[in-house]
Amino acid sequence: MALRNKLMVINAGSSSLKFKLFQMGQAGEGGALSAIASGVCERVGDPSASFLRAKANGSEESKAQHAMPDHTSALGAVAQYLSSAFTGDFTKDVHGVGHRVVHGRHMSQPALISAEVRSTIEQAADLAPLHNPPNLMGIDAALQTFAGVPQVAVFDTAFHQTMPPAAFMYALPYELYTDRAIRRYGFHGTSYKYLTTQAAKMLGKPEAETNLVICHLGAGSSMCAVQGGRSVDTSMGLTPLEGLMMGTRCGDIDPAITSYLAAKGMSPKEIDQMMNKKSGFLGLAGNADLRNHAEARFGPHVGGDAAERSRLAVDVYIRRVRKYLGAYFMHLDGQVDAIVFSAGIGENSAPMRREFCRGMEFAGVKIDEAKNEGAGVGKAADVAAADSRVRILVLPTDEELSIAQQTVDVIAAASSSAAAV
Ligand code: ADP
């Protein structure tokens, strides 16, 4: 018998396919979702080297070689793994599949995948050439593997569709916006949506009355100003390159640097690669991971060129975050309930959080050093001092859970509107 009590989330990249499987609670349990399996197919497209790493039901992670010439075979390997981890043909128990789709252009809500939605994702591939085509491959693979199961696209850009024109327009000729859809879109929206809900709960306020500055600081980093539960500004733009410095991305630079380098003979592709893959922590200090530089910046002083470059990279990163913090406090007229720190750096690095908030008492922000140091990995915490007007929250993000929840909601809304017809 088909139970239809599981929810699958898929995040397909160019050579990878990540999945997370959730058990849906009974209606009586509030419909809660709990993760029961997860994994990633790596080196998809290279059948001699591709493999699946996965775990289910609390087991140790296993790694197995599978020939995966494409995303359909990768998802086939996942389905096979899950069918043996759970009893029978697990695909029959799947209620819905949620897909992370990076760029959704004007889409402001997650949507059931139809021919029209598929074509929006295809059109947006022009703006997100590295992300949307593999997202589509994941969708096509899932349409085959989970035939007849509702599929939902959850867009990373959707949460930011509430930005006002003054925030999303570039000061370029207006026709670039009308004719080519060149504007700021913003990303990490699934994370911001989830964190807004979590923060409002923690603050004991309705989302619609909650103002936040959220810092999603990982290998990819961005920030978002949330007013009344809605995004009013964010640091990423047309692509995920704008804004903060990141692991390998430069973030904001003078755009004239690109034309200068082009005039010196670099091709557009080389410039793009340099800004996206060879800049940020990697470009400044030789390694993309903050953990490799934090000791030089926060530990006992060591001399030498490498340590100097590490300190410089960390300082550039901190300065950029503080610049956006200041800007977003202004956008919110100083009416900020909480600063939220999330993702790899935001959740794990107490010294970075301390530096971001240093000297912000004038804006009502005062960190409690002991609480900040004591914030447990993977746990929500308020690390603000008791007399801080603005709370400082450390919140683990969970983009897959957010995608799963949104998928359940879209399917429920679609079936109730179908029933109403
Ligand atoms: P993404 O989802 O964008 O790939 P994550 O949110 O997983 O990135 O963040 C990964 C980054 O977080 C790492 O590259 C590293 O710089 C940083 N990070 C993770 N753990 C720590 C830590 N304990 N201290 C400092 N930085 C950390």
3-state SS, one letter per residue, for 130-157: CCHHHHHHHHHHHHHHCCCCCEEEEECC
Residue 314 has pLDDT above 70, yes or no: yes
- What is the band of 28 on the pLDDT scale with cuts at 50, 70, 90? very low
Q: What is the pLDDT of residues 138-178, one digit of tens each?
A: 999 999 999 999 999 999 999 999 999 999 999 999 999 99
Q: How far apart (Å, rounded) are the C-alpha atoms in residues 141 and 23?
A: 22
Q: What is the mean pLDDT of the chain?
A: 94
Quick check: CB of 247 below 6 Å from ligand 1?
A: yes
Using the mean position of ligand 1's atoms as its centre, give its distance from the Cα of residue 11 in Å. 19
Question: Model's pTM, two decimal places?
Answer: 0.93
Using the mean position of ligand 1's atoms as its centre, give its distance from the Cα of residue 292 in Å. 11
End-to-end Cα spacing for the chain:
28
Q: What is the pLDDT of residues 287-313, one digit of tens each?
A: 999 999 999 999 999 999 999 999 999
Residue 26 has pLDDT above 80, yes or no: no
- Least reliable range by pLDDT among 15-29, 214-228, 272-286, 296-310: 15-29
Quick check: CB of 344 below 6 Å from ligand 1?
A: yes
Q: How far apart (Å, rounded) are the C-alpha atoms in residues 419 and 152?
A: 19
- Do residues 195 and 342 lie in contact, with contact meaning Cβ atoms separated by under 8 Å? yes
In the prediction, which pLDDT does 30 show? 52
Tell me what the mean pLDDT of segment 219-223 comes to: 96
Please give the number of the atom of ligand 1 that sits closest to the Cα of 294. Answer: 25
The residue nearest atom 22 of ligand 1, judged by CA position, is 348
Tell me what the mean pLDDT of segment 271-282 comes to: 96
In the prediction, which pLDDT does 277 show? 94
In the prediction, which pLDDT does 3 show? 76
Quick check: CB of 294 below 6 Å from ligand 1?
A: yes
Q: How far apart (Å, rounded) are the C-alpha atoms in residues 13 and 69?
A: 14
- What is the band of 377 on the pLDDT scale with cuts at 50, 70, 90? confident
- Looking at per-residue pLDDT, the higher value among 287 and 3 belongs to 287
Please choose, from the candidates 320, 131, 109, the residue with its C-alpha nearest in 3D space to the C-alpha of residue 223. 320
Residue 121 has pLDDT above 90, yes or no: yes
Please give the number of the atom of ligand 1 that sits closest to the Cα of 221. Answer: 3
- What is the band of 124 on the pLDDT scale with cuts at 50, 70, 90? very high
Tell me what the mean pLDDT of segment 95-108 comes to: 95
Both tokens assigned to 263? 């005039």
Please give the number of the atom of ligand 1 that sits closest to the Cα of 352. Answer: 25
Tell me what the mean pLDDT of segment 375-386 comes to: 94
Please give the number of the atom of ligand 1 that sits closest to the Cα of 397. Answer: 6
Task: List phi, psi (to 5°) of 351.
Answer: -65, -35
Both tokens assigned to 212? 């936040």
Both tokens assigned to 375? 């914030």
Quick check: CB of 250 below 6 Å from ligand 1?
A: no
Partners of residue 7 on adjacent β-strands? 22, 96
Using the mean position of ligand 1's atoms as its centre, give its distance from the Cα of residue 327 in Å. 24
Q: How far apart (Å, rounded) are the C-alpha atoms in residues 139 and 248?
A: 28
Q: Which residues of 307-330 are buried (b: 16+ CB within 10 A; e: fewer)?
A: bebbbebbebbbebbbebbeebbe
- What is the band of 89 on the pLDDT scale with cuts at 50, 70, 90? confident
- Do residues 193 and 261 lie in contact, with contact meaning Cβ atoms separated by under 8 Å? no
Using the mean position of ligand 1's atoms as its centre, give its distance from the Cα of residue 289 in Å. 7
What is the crossing angle of helices 268-277 and 256-263, to 10°?
130
In the prediction, which pLDDT does 128 show? 86
Residue 243 has pLDDT above 70, yes or no: yes
The residues annotated with a catalytic role in the active site are: 156
100 is in an annotated binding site: yes
Quick check: CB of 16 below 6 Å from ligand 1?
A: no
In the prediction, which pLDDT does 417 show? 78
Please choose, from the candidates 273, 297, 289, the residue with its C-alpha nearest in 3D space to the C-alpha of residue 218. 289
Q: What is the pLDDT of residues 387-416, one digit of tens each?
A: 999 999 999 999 999 999 999 999 999 988
The domains located in the chain, with CATH, are: 6-155 (3.30.420.40), 205-399 (3.30.420.40)
Partners of residue 97 on adjacent β-strands? 8, 151
Q: What is the pLDDT of residues 320-371, one digit of tens each?
A: 999 999 999 999 999 999 999 999 999 999 999 999 999 999 999 999 999 9
- SS3 letters across the chain: CCCCCEEEEEEECCCEEEEEEEEECCHHHCCCEEEEEEEEEECCCCCCCCEEEEEECCCCCEEEECCCCCHHHHHHHHHHHHHHHCCCCHHHHEEEEEEEECCCCCCCCCEECCHHHHHHHHHHCCCCCCCHHHHHHHHHHHHHHCCCCCEEEEECCHHHHHCCHHHHCCCCCHHHHHHHCCCCCCCCHHHHHHHHHHHHHHHCCCHHHCCEEEEEECCCEEEEEEECCEEEEECCCCCCCCCCCCCCCCCCCCCHHHHHHHHCCCCHHHHHHHHHHCCHHHHHHCCCCCHHHHHHHHCCCCCCHHHHHHHHHHHHHHHHHHHHHHHHHHHCCCCCCEEEEEHHHHHHCHHHHHHHHCCCHHHCECECHHHHHHCCCCCCEECECCCCCEEEEECCCCHHHHHHHHHHHHHHHHHHHHHHC
